[in-house]
Amino acid sequence: MKHTAFTKRDGDAARDPTPGAPRVDAPGALDSGGVAGAGGGSRPEMITAGLILLLNAYRCRSCQHLANCIVSHCRSLRAHPDADPMLRQLAAHLETEWCPLAMPAPLRKNH
């Protein structure tokens, strides 16, 4: 059998794929409270991954709660000290675009 980066080998389950990286299942890893990047906060890559999942979920089932989550992720990414400046700029743009969708229906303006 040819071994590639995607081939499962004996002992793979016991190995940490990225030594030193925070674990996704660690306490507080999914905690969205507090400031991103501060004491157990999420990495920009994790926030971006979550944002992409939320955008896809909204495409399948649009609701105000998902729009609020998208805006929240954009704010976290925009304010994250370790995020690339281009990623922060994109997050700021997305936040501006999604804020109207996150407002309650009576407050929305038709656009």
Q: Is the pLDDT of residue 47 over 80?
A: yes
Q: Is the pLDDT of residue 49 over 90?
A: yes
From the list 110, 47, 40, 41, the residue with the least C-alpha distance to 78 is: 47
pLDDT at 104: 82
Q: What is the dihedral of CA 27, 29, 32, 37, to 10 degrees?
A: 120
Q: Is the pLDDT of residue 87 over 50?
A: yes
Q: What is the pLDDT of residues 5-21, one digit of tens each?
A: 444 445 544 444 444 44
The amino acid sitting at 36 is A
pLDDT at 48: 95
Neighbours of 26 (CB within 10 A): 9
